[in-house]
Amino acid sequence: MTLKTAWRMGHKIRRRIAKQEPQFIVEGTVQIDKMYLSHMAFKKQGRSLKNKTLIVGIYEKTTNNLIVKVLKNVKSKSLLNFSRSHISLKCHVYTDDWKGYCDFKLVFPKHKTVNHQDGYVSKTGVNTNQIESVWKHIRRTFKTHIKVAKHHVYLYAKEAAYKFNKIPSFEIVMLCLI
């Protein structure tokens, strides 16, 4: 099999995964965060979207479900629209204290924030550590590719979320191996 054939087959699989939009509404404790992914040079820092793609994620702590979506901007309205379509209004929603999440309190009454300048966990126990861990996993996945075209980033993000949701926990894998 040639490299071109393998790449084409991989993209067909990714497109099939990307078509499967999550049909569930998450409940319980939810963490929401955003990630700027530089698809050309992975060492670039900052929030400029010129050479980066914005990925927003919703992580449910109780079931370890992950929902990701590539958004055009980080305006509060687009973040709220994405969140409303996947989160129950009864959820405990945890975010960082970025200004784009300021309208969440109006929609989600149990919205709490953590200030990362004060620490990774607030005094009330609010954190976004699990979704940050997910971003680290996705960045590591993207680094295995030499170059990812900007219009293909959503396919790779959906693939990473699919793998994250389908791979069982470490304990289950270890029990199966024993």
DSSP state, residue 127: B
pLDDT confidence tier of residue 166, bands split at 50, 70 and 90: confident
The alpha helices in 85-128, defined as continuous H runs, are 104-107
Can you give the pLDDT at residue 117? Answer: 78
Q: Is the separation of the CB atoms in 36 and 77 below 8 Å?
A: no
Strand, coil or helix: 31? strand
Extended beta strands in the chain, E state: 29-38, 52-60, 65-71, 92-96, 111-114
If you average pLDDT over residues 16-25, what whole number do you get?
Answer: 78
Contacts of residue 158, Cβ cutoff 8 Å, sequence gap at least 6: 14, 17, 18, 68
- Start-to-end C-alpha separation, the chain: 35
Does any domain span residue 3? Answer: no
Sheet holding 65-71: strands in order across? 65-71, 52-60, 29-38, 92-96, 111-114
Does any domain span residue 6? Answer: no
Question: Percent of the chain, pLDDT > 90?
Answer: 11
Can you give the pLDDT at residue 178? Answer: 57
Can you give the pLDDT at residue 173? Answer: 55
Total count of domains within the chain: 1
Average pLDDT, the chain: 82
As a whole number of angstroms, the distance between CA 138 and CA 159 comes to 10
How many Cα atoms occupy the beta-carbon half-sphere of 116 within 13 Å?
A: 9
Can you give the pLDDT at residue 93? Answer: 92
Does any domain span residue 72? Answer: yes
Does any domain span residue 80? Answer: yes
- The residue segments making up the domain with residue 159 are 24-177
As a whole number of angstroms, the distance between CA 178 and CA 73 comes to 47
Least confident of 75-79, 81-85, 120-124, 172-176: 172-176
pLDDT tens digits, one per residue of 24-53: 788 889 999 998 887 655 555 566 666 788
pLDDT tens digits, one per residue of 81-122: 899 889 988 889 999 888 888 888 889 989 998 887 777 787
Residue 68 has pLDDT above 60, yes or no: yes
**Residue 126 sits in a domain of what CATH number?**
3.30.420.10
User: What's this model's pTM, rounded to 2 decimal places?
Assistant: 0.81
Does any domain span residue 105? Answer: yes
Q: pLDDT higher for 93 or 20?
A: 93
